[in-house]
Chain A
Amino acid sequence: MADAFVLSHPEQLDRLRAACPEAAPAAVLAGDPCFDRMLAARCHRDRFRRALGVHDGQRLVVLNSTWNPDSLFGDGGAEDLLPALLPRLVSELPLDEYRLAAVLHPNIWQGHGPGQVRAWTDRARRAGLALVDPLEGWRQAVIAADVVIGDFGSVSYYAAALGTPVLVGTASHHTLDEDSPVAAFVREAPRLDAYGPLEKQLATVIASHRPLRGPAEFTTSAPGESAALLRRAFYELAGLDEPTGPALLDPLPLPPYEPRVCTAPVRVVTRVAANGVSVTRYADPRHEPDGASGYVHTAVHEDTLDPGVLSHADVIHRQGPGDDPRLEGPEAWAVRTLARFPHCSVAAYVTGPTECVVRTRDGVTLRLTGEPGGGDPTAWVSALHGARAEGRTARELVATGLVVVTGSAAHTVSVSPPR
């Protein structure tokens, strides 16, 4: 039927010959242009991570699903995993140690409607899930990932081909040709226990990861060469001489900056230790975190869905430019917020990725300034609140600064009177 049947690996030619011998003469081996664009963009992994607001020491977990009822997102497999798994992922993984992004097949978006996909994921997004654009952003997110929770779809396979650990979330794959490399991958890849402890499984798969040979081998037999091979084939078919310049695919663009914004209530455990103030935060947790070893408080974004939560928040914060003409300025906003919510101990206005203005109940206004990639300013605010709760004075903190410890990362934050 086709004059050129483009294959990315000779393995496909064997199966084509077996299944449809009359099509085999049209086969053209020309690699994989999608994967080539990913390979060419790997050098930009750090900026793709920063585009998603991933901090130093933070791990990016990409949740990936192909379409159809058997997929991770589907409700037709042996179990409907996602409705329970998604809230656990957003609330059980400590907020500062993990960033969660979802890459969903365009057929989920277009089959059910983008508005429906957003509605299904509303709570998760308010807890900070990044819903990645299925056309423009998914490859950058996959390149940026530390680990993928996926299924039998191509995106998970591409991730594995890049050498990224993949936990397969669903075993169903009966739409696949059993002889295909993807079916082999699903059989061999480590499996997610959706009811087991999630953080432990993610940490284990990252630490013990040894890339499977299949995905790297079978994704393309001509890495980096698809542009030249395809242009040659296309021009030959069209009856034109090829242009003399090199055949090049477009570089993947840098996605817009989309840091994690969590408007869901956050439970925070802080502990003042010799090396700094450790902060462990959980977004919208179902269970009270283990606070035995520290001081537990609640931090809430001013734009949280249920404003009633603000009345028992210990910390209230908002984000935006400090000179937003709609608001009265960071310090005046903080004064007003503390007056409005008598339970609130600290009001913080995050004015940029590395700075915020904080006002405490006892009338002290401070400016916190960190390093780029040095964690989320709202974590610094909780560290400050935890330190004050354990007796540190504002004067001491201005003198010494704050070291905010989240997981294995320690971020230095300077504390100063406002300008």
Chain B
Amino acid sequence: MTRAGFGWLRVPVGDEAVRWATRGLCRRVLFVVHNVTSATRLLDVLPLFRDDFRVQLLATCTGSSPFQGGVGELLAAVGVPVLPWEQALDTPVDLAISASLGGQLHSLRGKLAVLSHGIGYNKRLATPEAGSRKPEAGSRKPEAGSRKPEAGSRKPEAGSRKPEAGLRAFA
């Protein structure tokens, strides 16, 4: 089974993307969506990259939020390539932008900017989303071998999730 068989994109990112991409030298800006709510805030800032031929916009969904309804349709309407979360974790990007703190953001391969999706940060940590994140960790194993430099840094997920909880508590 190839990665494409898991729905991985082959263009504009992917193993042989250089063969298929027309503008393959672009910097990659990845919008990390958690749910429709956080996506709307990302859509507020997506137009800041308008008219820039040096940039390829990408999107992915962490799958960590319980609110998955409408995400697929929304991203399809936005019309930028949507990477499966596993591929997003496997794909080096120049900048990842998220409007929520759930999911394994620390495992993304690139600079990370986090926005709030409401008025600033007001909530205490209520229910951890950790439970819904487990399946992802398991399904990532088959690819780990092929990504030597990053594989190591991704292991201590459980430990490195704590700062996130701290941020949400502040938030």
Whether the pair B114, A4 counts as a contact (CB closer than 8 A) is yes
B107-151 vs A, CB cutoff 8 Å, 1 = contact: the mask equals 000011111101111111010000000000000000000000000
Is A9 on the interface with B (CB-CB < 8 A)?
yes
How many Å lie between the Cα of A271 and that of B108 in the bound state?
69
Shortest distance between the CB of B80 and any CB in chain A (Å):
15
Within 8 A of A (CB), among B77-128: 94-95, 97, 105-106, 111-116, 118-124, 126
B34-77 vs A, CB cutoff 8 Å, 1 = contact: the mask equals 01110011001101110110110000000000111110001000
Q: Which of A1, A9, A22, A231 contacts B106 (CB 8 A)?
A: A1
Whether the pair A106, B40 counts as a contact (CB closer than 8 A) is yes
Whether the pair B123, A176 counts as a contact (CB closer than 8 A) is yes
How many Å lie between the Cα of A361 and that of B68 in the bound state?
56
Within 8 A of B (CB), among A50-68: 68
How many Å lie between the Cα of A17 and that of B74 in the bound state?
35
B140-171 vs A, CB cutoff 8 Å, 1 = contact: the mask equals 00000000000000000000100110110111
Looking at the complex, which of A245-253, A255-263, A311-319 is the stretch in contact with chain B?
Answer: A245-253
Whether the pair A12, B35 counts as a contact (CB closer than 8 A) is no
Whether the pair B35, A249 counts as a contact (CB closer than 8 A) is no
Closest residue of chain A to B112 (Cβ to Cβ) is A2
A2-B114, A135-B36, A234-B113 given as contacts; is B121 within 8 A of A15 (CB)? yes
Shortest distance between the CB of B57 and any CB in chain A (Å):
11
Whether the pair A1, B112 counts as a contact (CB closer than 8 A) is yes
Whether the pair B170, A19 counts as a contact (CB closer than 8 A) is yes
Shortest distance between the CB of A293 and any CB in chain B (Å):
46
Instruction: Give the number of residues in B that approach A within 8 Å (Cβ atoms).
Output: 49
Is B27 on the interface with A (CB-CB < 8 A)?
yes
Contacts of B122 in A (CB 8 A): 154, 176-177, 180-183
Q: Which of B44, B55, B164, B171 contacts A1 (CB 8 A)?
A: B164
Is B13 on the interface with A (CB-CB < 8 A)?
no
How many Å lie between the Cα of A262 and that of B71 in the bound state?
32
Contacts of A157 in B (CB 8 A): 119
Within 8 A of B (CB), among A143-157: 153-154, 157
Is A49 on the interface with B (CB-CB < 8 A)?
no
How many Å lie between the Cα of A28 and that of B95 in the bound state?
15
Shortest distance between the CB of B167 and any CB in chain A (Å):
5
Contacts of B124 in A (CB 8 A): 175-177
Whether the pair A180, B166 counts as a contact (CB closer than 8 A) is no
How many Å lie between the Cα of A32 and that of B115 in the bound state?
9
Whether the pair A22, B163 counts as a contact (CB closer than 8 A) is yes
Which residue, of B69, B118, B121, B122, has the highest number of chain A Cβ atoms within 10 A? B122
Q: Which of A19, A154, A183 contacts B166 (CB 8 A)?
A: A19
Contacts of A12 in B (CB 8 A): 120-121
How many Å lie between the Cα of A135 and that of B121 in the bound state?
20
Whether the pair B48, A231 counts as a contact (CB closer than 8 A) is yes
Whether the pair A238, B170 counts as a contact (CB closer than 8 A) is no
Whether the pair B166, A20 counts as a contact (CB closer than 8 A) is yes
Is B33 on the interface with A (CB-CB < 8 A)?
no
Is A411 on the interface with B (CB-CB < 8 A)?
no
Contacts of B45 in A (CB 8 A): 33, 230, 234, 249
Is B9 on the interface with A (CB-CB < 8 A)?
no
How many Å lie between the Cα of A15 and that of B170 in the bound state?
6
Whether the pair A1, B163 counts as a contact (CB closer than 8 A) is yes
Whether the pair A23, B163 counts as a contact (CB closer than 8 A) is yes
How many Å lie between the Cα of A177 and that of B154 in the bound state?
31
Whether the pair A239, B48 counts as a contact (CB closer than 8 A) is no
Closest residue of chain B to A227 (Cβ to Cβ) is B48
Whether the pair A243, B163 counts as a contact (CB closer than 8 A) is no
Is A203 on the interface with B (CB-CB < 8 A)?
no
Shortest distance between the CB of B147 and any CB in chain A (Å):
20
Contacts of B66 in A (CB 8 A): 111
Shortest distance between the CB of B47 and any CB in chain A (Å):
5
Is A237 on the interface with B (CB-CB < 8 A)?
yes
Contacts of B47 in A (CB 8 A): 248-250
Whether the pair B48, A175 counts as a contact (CB closer than 8 A) is no
Whether the pair B95, A238 counts as a contact (CB closer than 8 A) is yes
Whether the pair B36, A3 counts as a contact (CB closer than 8 A) is no
How many Å lie between the Cα of A113 and that of B44 in the bound state?
24
Is A332 on the interface with B (CB-CB < 8 A)?
no
Could you show 26 A-B contacts with beta carbons less than 8 Å apart? A6-B113, A6-B116, A7-B121, A8-B119, A15-B170, A16-B167, A19-B166, A22-B163, A32-B119, A35-B119, A106-B37, A106-B67, A107-B36, A153-B118, A154-B118, A157-B119, A177-B121, A219-B120, A234-B45, A234-B95, A238-B29, A238-B111, A239-B94, A240-B55, A243-B52, A250-B47
A158-B119, A182-B122 known; 11 new pairs, CB 8 Å cut-off, are A6-B115, A7-B116, A20-B169, A34-B40, A106-B67, A107-B67, A154-B122, A177-B123, A237-B113, A243-B51, A248-B47
